[in-house]
Every structure is written in C-alpha cells, then in structure tokens.
C-alpha cells in the first residue's frame, strides 16, 4: 500500500491541484497514490467533505476535493475485485471500504457496498442491498434502506430515512456542480428520486414516488407559490414541507383535448405534531 501524503489539508489541496494539471497522456508524479490515499482517508473520517454548507444556508461543492476524487479515477488501474462467483472489475483506487465493528455502523448481510472515500457516521443502518458511492457523506442515525442509492458526493444529514429503492443522485463533473443535499430529519419515501443538485431542507417529508430534478416545478398549496430550479440555482424544498406526487393538466392543444396531465410534486402541508407522530416509528426501527 502506498504511504499516504503527509501534510496539512491546505498542502493536500495544493498538491492535488498540481497533479491534476499534469497534461493528459503524461505520466503522473510518483506521489500520486499517496495523495489519493490521504484524500480518501480524510473523506472517510469526515475531516474533509465534497460539499459544505455556508453560514447563509447555501451549499457549495468543494471543488478541489472533487478534483482529487476524479484524479483517483485517472490514476487507477482496473483490477479484479471478484468475490466467489460474483465478478467485479474496477479501479484499484476505489475498492469497497473495509469497515469493522468499531465503526458502529450496522451493515445487515445481503449484498450492500460502501465505496472508499465515503463517510458513514456511527449509528448509520444499511439494509441490503444498498450502495453508497465515493465522496458521499451520511450522518449519524440515518437509515439507508434496501435498494437505496446514495450517489457520489451526495450529502445526507442526521436521522434521515432513505426508504426502499430511494435514489439520491450523484455528481462528480463539472467539479463546481453542487451535489444533492438531504438535510437532517428528512423522510424520503420509497421509490423516490432526488437528482441534479436538489436541496431538501430539514424535517421535510417526500412521499413515495416523488421525483425531484432541477427542472421540476413544485407547487406549494399552503403558501400558494411554485418552486423551481434554474441553471444557476438548484431546486429547494422548504424545511418541514410534506411533498406528495401530483398532476397538472395540459391546458392547450391536442394534449388538453385528450385530457393529458403531467406528473408534478405538490406540497400539501408542513410538518406538525400529527405528522411527527406518524413518522416516530422510524426512530424505533433504528
């Protein structure tokens, strides 16, 4: 194993930027493996994150960290990672993380994987099969349920429940693109999809089947407004919002004549004491 780079985070950033500037097709410097190892260890410990929340609540990608992850793919060689009858071939720089019981993470038997470079806090529960990709951050008390995906660099808060088959999209390129963020105490229903840098603020509830992208309009029946993302700003779901699948009719032309409706998420209420009681069992299951 390559010895990890010794130096501060500022020195690590400078070294990553310098190595990443190596022209395509040229050999990478001899210390590249150690630099990547140092970055992955820092991500896995929570010392570094691929995205950060500012004092004003905005989330931004940490570009040099994402550049370092991409450097890991550039430097990696495809190796055989097969287990028994199951064949796997991936870059040697990003094997499955080896977790021990001292990590205090419950990984129930059945085919789950956590890739190197992902932070998984003590108290997280992983139900099989699920997958957490490189650069992701999963905070304490969260449950990642069966068939759920936490994509590259996605940020998942504390005490979140990602229900069965929930999909949290990932992003590595462009490096300045902010990832999907699910803040603390959010309930993400089964077969829900959250993509393209969408931010779901704390205590929100996404009912089963809700799909959120940057271009998805979300209709708020309580505040009588529509939330939309743009090229410069992600879609944001307000704190405490309860979002369910809905539909809006096509108003013009042939589609209107046929009675066609388009799927759209709808905020029907904001969390109150009754809603909290309905979701309280999630904490007991952890």
Q: Using an 8 Å Cβ cutoff, are 146 and 172 in contact?
A: no
Q: What is the mean pLDDT of residues 205-215?
A: 95
Q: What is the pLDDT of residue 84?
A: 82
Residues contacting residue 136 through CB under 8 Å, at least 6 positions apart? 50, 118, 119, 150, 151, 152, 153, 154, 155, 156, 170
Residues 167-192 have a mean pLDDT of 94
> How does residue 231 score in pLDDT terms, banded at 50, 70 and 90?
confident
Task: State the Cα torsion 35-38-42-44 to the nearest 10°.
Answer: 110
- Confidence band, pLDDT 50/70/90 cuts, at residue 85: confident
With a CB cutoff of 8 Å and minimum separation 6, the contacts of 72 are 36, 39, 40, 91, 93, 94, 117, 134
Q: How confident is the model at residue 80 (pLDDT cuts 50, 70, 90)?
A: very high
CB 58 within 8 A of CB 26: no
Find the mean pLDDT for residues 72-90.
92
Give pLDDT tens digits for 92-129. 999 999 899 999 999 999 989 999 999 999 999 999 99
| 24/146 Cα distance (integer angstroms) | 40
- pLDDT value for 283: 55
Query: What is the percent of the chain where pLDDT is above 70?
Result: 96
Q: Which two tokens stand for residue 215?
A: 């271009």
List domains and CATH numbers for the chain: 9-80 (1.10.166.10), 101-285 (2.160.10.10)
pLDDT band, residue 4 (cuts 50/70/90) = confident
Percent of the chain with pLDDT over 90: 86
Task: Compute the half-sphere exposure of residue 155: CA atoms within 13 Å on the CB side of its CA.
Answer: 25
Confidence of residue 181 (pLDDT cuts 50, 70, 90): very high
pLDDT at 281: 45
Each residue of 145-157: pLDDT tens digit?
999 999 999 999 9
Examine the pLDDT at 57 and tell me if it is beyond 90.
Answer: yes
Q: Does residue 285 carry a pLDDT above 60?
A: no
- Residue 114, both tokens: 């956590």
Provide the pLDDT for residue 86.
83
- Mean residue pLDDT across the chain: 93
Cα–Cα distance, 180 to 136 (Å, whole number): 10
């Amino acid at each position: 194993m390559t010895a990890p780079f010794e130096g501060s985070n500022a020195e690590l950033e400078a070294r990553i930027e310098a190595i990443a500037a190596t022209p395509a097709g040229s050999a990478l410097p001899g210390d590249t493996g150690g630099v990547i190892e140092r970055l992955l260890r820092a991500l896995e410990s929570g010392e570094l994150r691929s995205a950060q929340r500012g004092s004003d609540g905005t989330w931004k990608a940490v570009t040099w960290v994402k550049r370092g992850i991409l450097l890991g793919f550039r430097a990696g060689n495809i190796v055989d990672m097969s287990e028994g009858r199951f064949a796997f071939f991936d870059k040697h720089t990003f094997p499955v993380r080896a977790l021990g019981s001292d990590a205090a993470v419950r990984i129930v038997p059945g085919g789950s994987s956590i890739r190197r470079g992902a932070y998984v806090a003590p108290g997280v529960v992983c139900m099989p099969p699920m997958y957490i990709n490189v650069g992701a951050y999963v905070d304490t008390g969260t449950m990642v349920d069966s068939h759920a995906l936490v994509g590259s660099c996605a940020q998942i808060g504390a005490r979140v429940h990602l229900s069965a088959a929930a999909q949290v999209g990932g992003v590595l390129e462009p490096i300045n693109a902010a990832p999907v963020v699910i803040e603390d105490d959010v309930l993400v229903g089964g077969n829900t999809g959250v993509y393209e840098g969408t931010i779901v603020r704390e205590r929100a509830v996404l009912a089963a089947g809700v799909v959120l992208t940057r271009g998805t309009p979300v209709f708020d029946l309580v505040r009588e407004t529509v939330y939309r993302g743009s090229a410069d700003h992600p879609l944001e779901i307000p704190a405490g919002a309860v979002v369910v699948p809905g539909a809006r009719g096509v108003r013009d032309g042939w589609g209107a004549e046929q009675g066609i409706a388009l799927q759209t998420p709808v905020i029907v209420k904001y969390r109150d004491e009754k809603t909290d009681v309905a979701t309280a069992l999630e904490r007991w299951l952890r």
